[in-house]
Structure 1
Amino acid sequence: MKRFSRAAVLGATALAAGLVGTAAQAQVEIITVTAQKREQTLLEAPVAVTAVTGETISEAQIRDAADLQTLVPSLTVGEFAASTNQTFNIRSLGSSSFNPGVEPSVGVFIDGVYVPRQGASINDFLSLERVEVIRGPQSTLFGRNTPAGVVSFHTRQPEFEFGAEGEVTVGNYNARVVGATVTGPLVADQLAFRLDGSINQRDGFITNVDGREFNNRDRWSARGQLLWDSGGATTARIIASAGNIDENCCAAPFSNVAPSELFAFNQLGAVVPSGDPHDGTTAINGPLATQVDTWGLSAEINHDFGGFTLTSITAYQNYEEDQVIDADFTTLDAAGARQQYQDYNAFTQEFRIASNGGENFDWMAGLFYYNNELTFQNETPYGSQLAAFANLASSLDPSVAALAAGLGLGAGSGIPAIMNTIIGGNNATGVGTLAPTPSGNAIPIVPANGYLGAGQGLVNETYNYDTEAWSAFGQVDWRVTDRFTITAGLRYSRETKDYTPNVTINDPFSQLDAVALGQDLRLPSAATCLAFNPGPPPSPIGDTCAFFVPAILAAGGAPFNPAVPLTPAQAANPAINFLLPLIEGSGLQFNVVNAPFTPGSRTDENVSGSIIFGYDWSDTLNTYLSVGTGYKPGGFSLSSNSAATGLFQFEEETTLNIEVGVKGTAFDNRMVYAIALFDQTNKDFQTEVFVGGGFYLDNAGEISVRGLEVEATLAPTQNLVLAGGFTWLFQNRYESYEFGPCPRTSSLTEPGLAGNPLFADCLATRVNQNGFTGRFNDLSGVDRGSPEFTGFLTAMYTQPLGNGLELRLRGETSYVSSQNLNGALAAMPSFEQDAITLVNGSVGIGAEDGAWSLQLWGRNLTDETYYRGTFFSVGTIGPSTNSYPSNPRTYGLTLRARF
């Protein structure tokens, strides 16, 4: 068995896996990767790729993909709402995970198997050999959903020599991690096995007012492998894996509490949020629970035919997830629990044939098949206090308060009460039923429990979403000379998606047509009401209608017959003119009802390609120029929120990347470096943005990203290794995005909106490309708000102590420049994230041969506070926001042993 590799641990990234040589001449060892689906060293591979070894991941205490970004500056990983809602971005490009119909722009592969959902890859790393982050479009060789890049996990294979490794970690927040692997022969030199298992548990970082803890860890993983070696031309590797996540994540305390919400909280007796997401507390009365069960089987078979090798990779994956979240993030029963269920079964088959090396040509060809059956369900009903909350919060608006007073409503009456009263009074007089209206429409009937009543809202949405795809691909390496190589590849893809929605929405308020109401509503007097309800006074109908009398008299009007259209004086009544902005701008229209949720099917075809010119100037300096295209198919939105813009499906996303790279070694192989300068354009970028009432889904025109990436590892002495890198995005903007999202659907005054030329288009409605009227922002030519600069620096120092012992000191720092956390670029402090600097470190002692080690470690040692994400609060009137806070300082002790 390969024992603990001292060299591999020293390196911060796999640009340099470690040191070899003597104390007098330290050298950097270059790692082997498979970024081109054949083994090459990092210097030979003509692509921008960073690889992090499993030993480095273990030493750095990286437990999931979100931590990996501290060692890979071009990679960012967001975590929102639930443990599984992790989004991978490379060079700032990636797709949100909130809408299951939108597949990732960064492809994730585990041991060569495509993983349809990034949430399925976040469980603890088991026997990891390395992680490769391949930047830029990789559609030629990797295929599906890789227009931004690839994150490829490679686990250690079974070995024919017995060995075992184990790890026990304890830390603050009651962290407990146990992991083990054992490998060895079942049949000498023919059949070997490996078994891995881990348990990761930790208390939560955030305490609720009722004592519950959120943002905890409670997960386990298991993996079993068999490796068969025929002793001749054939090898086979079979992998079975399973995992479970059962966590209370993720809390999003309020980061800004608007006066309207603060007033409502106080009046309704709710726990008032502190407005500081970093104080370790939150106040909700519902669950934040995520449970995920995954399992999978895969088989890789390789057969050497002499001149070429045939590879077959067959895989089946099952993913089942339940989420239950208190959507309003308060102690009020404003929004009922959002319950989501997702289940998919995915089958993949890949065949490849690749030459075994030749004088002038190497080639590869393959076929890929993919089938995925997905079921997604969601329900988000209104709670029993939503109407009361909306009344109180909206009553602070002067226009709302004036109208409520004119109607004779009491203090604290807001938009729902006004609608109940005005429309209810018309119901009582029979307008639209007993008497005609100018538009010929009937006045809607006020629901029995009033507008925004409990149980209304999104009753259920269920989608069955089947995907079938296949592709054929090939690549040729032509060594024109000993130094000059041309690599060219093509891939043809065809994909069909079948979509069957079943959506039930019961939301009478969101169904109101403000224009029709403005034409048809009447302000009847008590006398007019009585005419429709003969009988001795007092009349219940007359009492209800009497509320309108003050409003009529205030406008100088007079009682009128509801069958007669309004006079000009009456039409000028603010009670009528305010209805349209009252309804459209209230921010309370969460659902679009009677939308055309109809079954559909679509087929996308694409030809992607790449060409790379590589030149080896010497044994220590390589350069390349590449042009590559990427592709992600279109699809259907699995969210009723899409009805707000009429965008029920989205188009394919394509990428063009032009890149120049330099790789080499220096100082007698004590330094290895890689530099890439790229110009990447994404057309019809698939995006979704949360705007308060739901997610805005669209194809974002064209995005242009230009940048410089630098990575280097230096070994100045046998005992010291320095590694660092940075990504500088000097251009990152929307070249065209005519109908981008506004910060919120509300037209009420918001900080940073009025008077800001960036949002001038949001102050009036426009008609988008689908003919829907709404508030859209033209973001063409606007910077996307992503970090301009990200970088990291690590240092590893080892010192022999004698008697076979060794001291190891490790330090890491990472930096992310300022950014805007809102996809609509909302100009509010909650969304403007300052630059972040994180510091991690460890000190360890152990055997020089790696037989055992004891490590004291810490992450975020300076206890830096920042937001992982921020969004407009659900169901609010004012510009309140919630934020996902960063993890606090963590530390612990890890004991490892290898046999």
Structure 2
Amino acid sequence: MFEKYKPKRAVLGLLATLGLLACLGAQAVAGETDESGAMQLEPMVVTAEKRKENLQDVPSSISAITDTQIIDSGISTLQDVSNRIPNLFVCNWGFRGNSFVFVRGLGAVNNDPAVGFYVDDVNYMDSRVFDSNLFDIERIEVLRGPQGTLYGRNSLAGVINIITKKPDNEFHVGADQTFGNYGLMETDMHLRGPIVDDTLFFGFSGNIEQRDGYSRNDYLDKDGDDRNDKSGRAQLRWTPTDRLDVLAQVDGEQLDDGAFPVTSLNQVDSDPHNFSHNVEGEHQRNSVGTSLKVGYDADMLGFTSITGYRHYDDDVINDQDFTAADLYWAKERVRDDQFSQEFRLSSPGDSGVWQWIGGLYGFSEDKDHYLQMNYPGFGGVVEDAHSDLESYGYAAFGQITRTVFDKLDVTGGLRLDYEHRSIDYKRESAPFAINPDLTFSDSIDNSAVLPKFQLAYHWTDSIMTYAGVSRGYRSGGFNTGFTSIADASFDPEYSWNYEIGAKTSLLDNRLMLNASVFYIDLSDQQVTQLLPTANTIVQNVGRSRSRGFEVEGNVLLAEGLTMDASFGYTDAEFMKYEDPLAGADYKGNKVPLAPEYTFNVALQYRRPIMDHFDMFWSDGPLNLLVRGELQGIGDFYWNTANSIKEDAHKLVNLRLGLESEHFDLTFWVKNLFNAHYRAVAFEFPGSDPVGQAGDPRTFGLTLSGRF
């Protein structure tokens, strides 16, 4: 009975959020005495549409997090980012290669991502490397909805942009040292500055993290998900003239983690952080990447070239029966090389009523995938499956905006996208075959036309409304584990996104309030299905639709006192889906991993408690920082059959810090009340459901220094 009223409750949540922000903003005005306008929210510049723009002037659903907000809220992972962004849900479980990212109910499980992930304009094509520690970050941008025109393939749900800090004429030296429960020790460091003033600059930054596991393998008497990783980045920047900017980067990561603390759902619910496996889960990853970005601003246009190369080695061992019984376990090895090149031309920043951008993009990827399934409980069978996957693609794209009557912006865009994929596959077993031995080669070609049309009307300098329609596309591909050759490949999927929204800066820029409403039609949908062999395949199953809204804002209540809030509602369900494996019709079922709502409310207060703090080389005020966050995720289902449900849960985070000119000391707590929830839940056909518990309460102390 209550199900039918959930949209009403979501609307009430939206209205409550809007009303709370408006009332608090009005109180801020009532208490404001400085008529100079000094008390204002700082404008935020983003590059989401591949040019520098004020966030409030971009007619799209974009959320951005600045470097100050990253530090104040303690963001260090993609999961932390998702907790702040409406209708963004990230499911991290098992090992750091399992990062399932969903936006507005659209995403991917054990498949090419449906959300584009970019670091300094370089596309990370495989979601196995999404879950890396974030350090020395300038800004994080999240674009919701299909971004096919400017970003192309595999961005039909949205895009996440990570922008790192760049060296300049100022020396920046700093380090953060964190100590926490579960043996946490984490170090961040950075050094940036000039080699030749105004011309040549360098930058180095790094992160080291070690901690014990949150879960204990009782059978082996070992931690099951401990962490040990190192990451680093080096930059060299050359600006011989005011027009030319060249940035070369290299980054690397090495990690050695425990993996897959998965057990029965009954134990997850009753004893969440204990499990028993006879095979120890392991995850080792080594990755390296390089990029070269060249930007040149001429009088009539701007030119940008972005060259990227990425390589990673990924090795995983996991107990596939998730018990202490010696039934079956898996070993997986992935070797991946990716190369990408993009050339862009764009109008100059002062081009008046015409704004345009266009370019060419190309990529290639060579992936070697090896999966060994061991069945000691079934006669000692060992099955080896080796896949050599190659792909390459090209795209041409353009977008143009014309301003009419000084207030109306008319935008049109188009991208032509082509991709070729091929596979050489071999599967063999000994001493006998559970699945028939198989050798085959195949190739497929995918192409798409991805248009975009948008209208934006600027009612005033601080109020803008917009409406648009855009198409997204995720390419087809090959499965690397299947029982029938008919399931070896799958076709592309496509989405149409219809959206209207508003962006406002009110009360003399003390209140920013943005909202959007969307409807998404997804056809030829790619869905991941679990096999009795403890493997997965991707199949095209039909259509789904997603509809909902987002609202987010921040308000400056008084000097030093701010409030951030966001609320997202998603109603995503299958319009056509007949599962041939289960022999069931799932039409009308909810799309998995699509929470009904997400929300975040954060209240932060920063004030001086000493006007002069003359210790530890500091000569300035000593500030107190207090921040509290309430984050929530609504009901959703883990599987297409809607037989495994995750109930809504909420997390509370707190931060308390002392800040001086050169040093900060911060005490933090995540999941203050130790809320119990599942990080994942699933069931293979013929087996009982299993899952993994979400992170418990963690706390620690961070000492930060900078000069």
Q: How many percent identity over aligned positions?
A: 28
Residue 5 (structure 2) aligns with: none
Q: Does the Cα contact within 8 Å between 2:99 and 2:130 map onto a contact in 1? A: no
Q: Does 1:472 align with 2:357?
A: no
1:189 maps to which of 174, 191, 198 = 198
Q: Does 1:666 align with 2:511?
A: no
* Partner Cα distance (2:98, 2:602) in 1: 29
**CA separation of 1:275 and 1:468: change in aligned 2, threshold 3 A:** closer
Task: Give the superposition deviation at 1:277.
Answer: 6.2
Q: Secondary structure at the match of 1:37?
A: coil
* Partner Cα distance (2:632, 2:210) in 1: 28
Residue 176 (structure 2) aligns with: 167
Mapping 1:805-884, distance limit 5 Å: 805-826=622-643, 831-847=644-660, 849=661, 851-872=662-683, 879-884=687-692
Larger Rg, first or second structure (1 or 2): 1
Task: Give the superposition deviation at 1:186.
Answer: 0.9
Q: Does the Cα contact within 8 Å between 1:124 and 1:220 map onto a contact in 2? A: no
**CA separation of 1:327 and 1:23: change in aligned 2, threshold 3 A:** farther
1:350 maps to which of 335, 338, 342 = 342
Residue 559 (structure 2) aligns with: 718
Q: Relative to total residues, which structure has the larger helix share, 1 or 2?
A: 1
Residue 290 (structure 1) aligns with: 283
Residue 302 (structure 1) aligns with: 295
* Partner Cα distance (1:710, 1:142) in 2: 24
**CA separation of 1:44 and 1:507: change in aligned 2, threshold 3 A:** farther
* Partner Cα distance (1:198, 1:651) in 2: 40
* Partner Cα distance (1:676, 1:361) in 2: 26
Q: Does the Cα contact within 8 Å between 1:328 and 1:873 map onto a contact in 2? A: no
**CA separation of 1:158 and 1:641: change in aligned 2, threshold 3 A:** farther
* Partner Cα distance (2:666, 2:128) in 1: 30
Task: Give the superposition deviation at 1:275.
Answer: 6.1
Q: Does 1:104 align with 2:96?
A: no
2:460 maps to which of 598, 618, 623 = 618
**CA separation of 1:275 and 1:241: change in aligned 2, threshold 3 A:** closer
1:453 maps to which of 376, 379, 388 = 379
Mapping 1:35-50, distance limit 5 Å: 35-50=48-63
Mapping 1:597-608, distance limit 5 Å: 598-608=440-450
* Partner Cα distance (2:336, 2:79) in 1: 24
Task: Give the superposition deviation at 1:469.
Answer: 0.3
Task: Give the superposition deviation at 1:119.
Answer: 2.5
* Partner Cα distance (2:236, 2:309) in 1: 17
* Partner Cα distance (1:355, 1:230) in 2: 22
Q: Does the Cα contact within 8 Å between 1:839 and 1:861 map onto a contact in 2? A: yes
Which digits, 9 at most, give the CA deviation of each residue in 1:334-378, with x for residues without a partner? 11x310000111110000000103122111110001000000000
5+ residue gaps, structure 2: 1-20, 613-620
Mapping 1:569-588, distance limit 5 Å: none
AA of the residue aligned to 1:819? F
* Partner Cα distance (1:497, 1:67) in 2: 34
2:165 maps to which of 153, 156, 164 = 156
**CA separation of 1:30 and 1:507: change in aligned 2, threshold 3 A:** farther
* Partner Cα distance (2:541, 2:598) in 1: 24
Residue 319 (structure 1) aligns with: 312
AA of the residue aligned to 1:652? P
AA of the residue aligned to 1:76? F
Number of matched residues?
Answer: 665
* Partner Cα distance (1:779, 1:662) in 2: 35
Task: Give the superposition deviation at 1:287.
Answer: 1.6
Task: Give the superposition deviation at 1:487.
Answer: 1.0
Which digits, 9 at most, give the CA deviation of each residue in 1:740-784, with x for residues without a partner? 2xxxxxxxxxxxxxxxxxxxxxxxxxxx5xxxxx53221123332
**CA separation of 1:652 and 1:83: change in aligned 2, threshold 3 A:** same
Mapping 1:73-88, distance limit 5 Å: 73-88=86-101
**CA separation of 1:173 and 1:663: change in aligned 2, threshold 3 A:** same
1:683 maps to which of 501, 511, 523 = 523
Q: Does 1:792 align with 2:600?
A: yes
* Partner Cα distance (1:88, 1:630) in 2: 16
Q: Does the Cα contact within 8 Å between 1:680 and 1:706 map onto a contact in 2? A: yes
Mapping 1:320-469, distance limit 5 Å: 320-335=313-328, 337-356=329-348, 357-383=350-376, 386=377, 452-454=378-380, 456=381, 459-469=383-393
* Partner Cα distance (1:277, 1:109) in 2: 39
* Partner Cα distance (1:275, 1:472) in 2: 49
Task: Give the superposition deviation at 1:278.
Answer: 3.9
Aligned CA-pair RMSD: 2.1
AA of the residue aligned to 2:50? K
Which digits, 9 at most, give the CA deviation of each residue in 1:797-836, with x for residues without a partner? 112112211101000011111122123322xxxx221111
**CA separation of 1:90 and 1:147: change in aligned 2, threshold 3 A:** same
* Partner Cα distance (1:248, 1:642) in 2: 33
Q: Does the Cα contact within 8 Å between 2:250 and 2:290 map onto a contact in 1? A: yes
Which digits, 9 at most, give the CA deviation of each residue in 1:230-273, with x for residues without a partner? 124211000000001110022012224xxxxxxxxxxxxxxxxx
1:57 maps to which of 53, 58, 70 = 70
Q: Does the Cα contact within 8 Å between 1:461 and 1:640 map onto a contact in 2? A: no
AA of the residue aligned to 1:65? L
Q: Secondary structure at the match of 1:27?
A: coil
Query: Comparing 171-180 with 778-787, which one deviates more in the overlay?
Result: 778-787
1:776 maps to which of 583, 608, 629 = 583
* Partner Cα distance (2:374, 2:33) in 1: 68
* Partner Cα distance (1:486, 1:172) in 2: 54
Which digits, 9 at most, give the CA deviation of each residue in 1:40-68, with x for residues without a partner? 11110111011112332233222211222
Which digits, 9 at most, give the CA deviation of each residue in 1:147-185, with x for residues without a partner? 010011000111112121110000001100111000111
Q: Does the Cα contact within 8 Å between 1:277 and 1:883 map onto a contact in 2? A: no
Mapping 1:544-559, distance limit 5 Å: none
* Partner Cα distance (2:427, 2:396) in 1: 37
1:129 maps to which of 134, 138, 141 = 138
* Partner Cα distance (1:732, 1:871) in 2: 19
Q: Does 1:219 align with 2:229?
A: yes
Q: Does 1:647 align with 2:490?
A: no
5+ residue gaps, structure 1: 1-11, 257-273, 387-451, 512-590, 741-767, 769-773
* Partner Cα distance (1:63, 1:91) in 2: 23
**CA separation of 1:215 and 1:55: change in aligned 2, threshold 3 A:** farther
Which digits, 9 at most, give the CA deviation of each residue in 1:65-91, with x for residues without a partner? 122211112111112332221111111
For normalisation by structure 1, the TM-score amounts to 0.72
**CA separation of 1:367 and 1:109: change in aligned 2, threshold 3 A:** same
Residue 248 (structure 1) aligns with: 258
